[in-house]
C-alpha cells in the first residue's frame, strides 16, 4: 500500500514536468510558425524562463505605513483647503451675480416709479380735469353751491384752516 501512495514532492515534480513539456510544445509550435514565415537562412533561438513568485511574501513595514498615513493626512488637509478656496470662489461669483440682478431690479423699479409719477402728473393736471369735466357737462360751482363736511357753505373765498372738535367725540 505504501507503493501506491504518492509523496507531495512527487506530485510537485510531475506538475513541473508537465508544465515544462507544455512550454516546450508551445515554443516548438511558435518556432515552426516563425520558421515558415522566415525569409533568410539564419535560425532564431528562443530561451524559456519560468518565474515562480508564489512563495514571495511582502513583509510589513511600519515605517512605510507611518509615512503613508502622514502623506494621506497631508493630502487630505491640502484637498480640504483647496475645496474651501473653490467653494468661497464660487460663492463670491454667485453673490456677484445676485448683486447684479438686484441692481437691474432696482433700476427697473426706479423706471417704473418714474413712469408712475409721470402718469400721476398727467392725470392730476388741472387743465385735463377741467376739460373732462366740461365734456361731462359740468361747470364751475356757483357761490353757495359747495358744502363743506362741517356743514358750512362756501362762497369761493379763501378760508383760513382751523381745527374744530366734534361734539360727538366729546361725549
pLDDT confidence of residue 73: 98
Question: Is 70 exposed, middle or buried, given 0-12, 13-18 or 19+ CB atoms closer than 10 A?
Answer: exposed
Cell numbers describing residue 19: 508544465
CB-based contacts of 44, cutoff 8 Å, min separation 6: 31, 34, 35, 38
pLDDT confidence of residue 1: 43
Please answer whether residues 153 and 147 qualify as being in contact, where contact means their C-beta atoms are separated by less than 8 angstroms: yes
pLDDT confidence of residue 70: 97
The residue extents of the domains of the chain are: 12-57
pLDDT confidence of residue 39: 65
pLDDT confidence of residue 60: 86
Please answer whether residues 164 and 150 qualify as being in contact, where contact means their C-beta atoms are separated by less than 8 angstroms: yes
Q: How confident is the prediction along the chain (171 residues), in pLDDT tens digits per residue?
A: 444 555 566 667 777 788 888 888 988 888 888 777 776 666 667 778 888 888 888 888 999 999 999 999 999 999 999 999 999 999 999 999 999 999 999 999 999 999 999 999 999 898 898 888 889 888 877 776 777 777 665 555 555 555 565 565 555
Cell numbers describing residue 150: 362741517
Cell numbers describing residue 27: 515554443
* Threshold 0.75, pTM exceeds: no
**Region label for 40, one of left (φ > 0), alpha (ψ between -120 and 50) or beta (otherwise):** beta
Q: Report DSSP state, residue 41.
A: S
pLDDT confidence of residue 2: 47
Amino acid at each position: 500500500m505504501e507503493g501506491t501512495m504518492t509523496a507531495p514532492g512527487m506530485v510537485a515534480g510531475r506538475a513541473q514536468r508537465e508544465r515544462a513539456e507544455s512550454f516546450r510544445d508551445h515554443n516548438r509550435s511558435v518556432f515552426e510558425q516563425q520558421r515558415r514565415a522566415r525569409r533568410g537562412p539564419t535560425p532564431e533561438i528562443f530561451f524559456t524562463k519560468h518565474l515562480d513568485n508564489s512563495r514571495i511574501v511582502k513583509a510589513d513595514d511600519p515605517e512605510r505605513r507611518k509615512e503613508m498615513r502622514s502623506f494621506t493626512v497631508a493630502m487630505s488637509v491640502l484637498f480640504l483647503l483647496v475645496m474651501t478656496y473653490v467653494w468661497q470662489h464660487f460663492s463670491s461669483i454667485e453673490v456677484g451675480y445676485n448683486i447684479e440682478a438686484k441692481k437691474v431690479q432696482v433700476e427697473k423699479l426706479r423706471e417704473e416709479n418714474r413712469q408712475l409719477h409721470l402718469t400721476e402728473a398727467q392725470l392730476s393736471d388741472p387743465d385735463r380735469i377741467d376739460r373732462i369735466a366740461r365734456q361731462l357737462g359740468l361747470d364751475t360751482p356757483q357761490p353757495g353751491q359747495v358744502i363743506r363736511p362741517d356743514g358750512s357753505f362756501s362762497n369761493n373765498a379763501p378760508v383760513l384752516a382751523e381745527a374744530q372738535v366734534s361734539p360727538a367725540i366729546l361725549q
